[in-house]
Amino acid sequence: MKTKELIAEAVSLPVEERALLVDSLLKSLNMPDSVIDKKWVEVTKDRLQQLRAGEVMAQPANEVFKKIAARFQQ
């Protein structure tokens, strides 16, 4: 099967199956690393604790995305 045919067939799949396919393909490009995953869990827990303790303030996602977009439009 040629790549174009494969893509056409993949696009015709139900959304759940396309999502599974995309996830599988991405994982094959960027293999999970348990050491890195554990570190991200630590960082996430620390940030959540800081948020709950009032040490940091959450920002609405739309404001964050606006700032990012403005930075890249320069």
pLDDT at position 30: 82
Those residues whose C-beta lies under 8 Å from the C-beta of residue 47, and which sit 6 or more positions away, are 56
pLDDT number for residue 22: 95
Q: What is the pLDDT of residue 55?
A: 97
CB 18 within 8 A of CB 11: yes
HSE value, Cβ hemisphere, 13 Å, CA-based, for 36: 4
**Which residue range forms the structural domain that includes residue 16?**
1-31
* Residues of the chain predicted below pLDDT 70: none
Same domain? For 14 and 43 the reply is: no
Enter the tokens of residue 54.
């009032």
The DSSP letter of residue 31 is -
Q: How many residues does the chain have?
A: 74
Amino acid 32: pLDDT:
79
| 66 and 39 share one domain | yes
* Number of CB atoms found within 10 A of residue 18's CB: 13
Question: What is the predicted pLDDT for the residue at 25?
Answer: 93
Number of domains in the chain: 2
Same domain flag for 24 and 47: no
